[in-house]
Amino acid sequence: MYSPSVVASSTDSSNNDNRLFVYEVVGLSQNGNTDKINYPLRRSGNLFITVPYGRMNQEMRRIARLGGKIVSIKPLNGEIPLQMTATSQPTQQASKEIEKGKSMTQAQVKAKDDVPVNIYRPSNPYLGKCVENYSLVREGGQGIVQHLTFDISGGDLRYVEGQSIGIIPPGTDDKGKPHKLRLYSIASTRHGDKLDDKTVSLCVRQLEYEHPETKETVYGVCSTYLCHLEVGADVAITGPVGKEMLLPKDEDATIIMLATGTGIAPFRAFLWRMFKEQHEDYKFKGLAWLIFGVPYTGNILYKQELEELAETYKDHFRLTYAISREQKNAEGGRMYIQHRVAEHSAELWDLIQKPNTHTYMCGLKGMEDGIDAALSAQAAASGTDWATYQKQLKKDHRWHVETY
């Protein structure tokens, strides 16, 4: 759909926040998607859009996603426009004018193929707004797990699949200090659940445990805050962070995903990008296999969407559940994710040895040892030491782990 290539940024953001810029756009035609942009299209196809400084990046991404091309950008007061080429890079002449005259209020255009990190820090978080908060646990499930979506249209927060954002809960701790941020894996693709580049979504379980001394039930500060956050409420967001769980660009890759509970979050983003969204620059043709561990059927998060994808894309997506309180393993005990991995260890081992296979693990930290044991036994059967082989996988950036 869209791969960010340019962004306008300023060396004097305090003066620029209220500035308005005019984008001249070509290549858009009247259709169901462009009917939603709230701007009339001329018969010639040229469109002039007035954009606040703080919305420049989001409008660039949205225009590209709709198939348009920005041919010029200029301040509303008529300073020297920035001429854009077909690759959305400034022409040499325009670049010289900007560098020499510092026009467009010191605006610069640069490539953004890199992974964004720490656009917003704890000292200056982005203030988003909650636009969705609904339960993911169905009848028969346990606990509280919510899907939350935040509006980020007013700033420059952007991210890619596999990253995390920080949430700073309001209030102070028992020492009177502001609460520290908590990191959560992003559950949406870079375009957001509404495909308008204006939102970011999380999958959050309310932390609940028994205090070891008082035996009282203790609830997690940030998870409780988020799970009960009202639609319309503000939320302090930092990040994004993380490069460990990124999806490879290889469209023919094999992607093995091992998840427990809310560890499904980054894999939802992966699968939505692979199958639910339609991209010009990314057409997944490989194999994606999700092995998902939960306690009850009611705890299979995003169950309907996952099963629809598995039915629609049978040749490219495989879905396997490990439901611990409802299924039995080969020894008659509870079926945990490591038991499913053991069941399929021969096939998984064959896939892992392919040079374009990436294996991801996300969820409870306790899942690692059992999965390693299952794969170690299978590797040993072929004369391979799993620990040594795994080290090479990590070195090759093909073994990705995010557990907590």
| DSSP of 125-158 | -EEEEEEEEEE---TT--S-EEEEEEE-TTS---
Cα dihedral: 85, 87, 91, 95 (round 10)? 130
Q: What is the pLDDT of residue 76?
A: 63
* 184 noted as active-site residue: yes
Is 308 annotated as ligand-binding?
no
Q: What is the pLDDT of residue 145?
A: 97
Q: Are 185 and 164 within 8 A, CB to CB?
A: yes
Tokens of 123: 């000292």
Peptide bond connecting 81 to the previous residue in cis, omega within 30 degrees of 0: no
Is 295 annotated as ligand-binding?
yes
Active-site residue identified among 2, 53, 184, 321: 184
Name the CATH topology of 126-241: Elongation Factor Tu (Ef-tu); domain 3 (2.40.30)
Q: Give which of 400, 383, 373, 146 is closest to 253, Cα–Cα.
A: 400
Q: What is the pLDDT of residue 29?
A: 56
Cα angle 75, 77, 80 (rounded to 5 degrees) comes to: 55
Helix (H) or strand (E) holding 13: helix 13-16
* 9 noted as active-site residue: no
Helix (H) or strand (E) holding 291: strand 287-294
Active-site residue identified among 203, 222, 227, 362: 362
Q: What is the pLDDT of residue 77?
A: 58
Active-site residue identified among 2, 153, 161, 185: 185
CATH superfamily for 7-110 is Allophycocyanin linker chain (domain) (3.30.1490.170)
Is 217 annotated as ligand-binding?
no
Q: What is the rounded distance in angstroms from the CA atom of residue 371 to the CA atom of residue 387?
A: 12
Q: Are 232 and 129 within 8 A, CB to CB?
A: yes
Is 149 annotated as ligand-binding?
no
* 203 noted as active-site residue: no
Q: What is the rounded distance in angstroms from the CA atom of residue 272 to the CA atom of residue 306?
A: 9
Name the CATH topology of 254-403: Rossmann fold (3.40.50)
Is 363 annotated as ligand-binding?
yes
Q: Give which of 7, 16, 231 is closest to 129, Cα–Cα.
A: 231
* 185 noted as active-site residue: yes
Per-residue pLDDT of the chain (404 residues; tens, 9 = 90+): 323 333 333 334 444 455 667 777 777 654 554 444 444 444 445 677 777 766 777 777 777 777 777 877 777 654 444 443 333 333 344 333 334 443 333 333 333 457 999 999 999 999 999 999 999 999 999 999 999 999 999 999 999 999 999 999 999 998 999 999 999 999 999 999 999 999 999 999 999 888 888 888 889 999 999 999 999 999 999 999 999 999 999 999 999 999 999 999 999 999 999 999 988 888 999 999 999 999 999 999 999 999 999 999 999 999 999 999 999 999 999 999 999 999 999 999 999 999 999 999 999 888 999 999 999 999 999 999 999 999 999 999 999 999 98
Is 402 annotated as ligand-binding?
yes
Is 368 annotated as ligand-binding?
no
Q: What is the pLDDT of residue 90?
A: 37
Q: Are 299 and 272 within 8 A, CB to CB?
A: no
Q: What is the pLDDT of residue 39?
A: 45
Q: What is the rounded distance in angstroms from the CA atom of residue 367 to the CA atom of residue 338?
A: 7
Q: What is the pLDDT of residue 45?
A: 53
Domain assignments of the chain as residue spans, ordered by start: 7-110, 126-241, 254-403
Residues 6 or more apart in contact with residue 124 via CB below 8 angstroms: none
Q: What is the pLDDT of residue 18?
A: 56
Q: What is the rounded distance in angstroms from the CA atom of residue 352 to the CA atom of residue 248?
A: 15
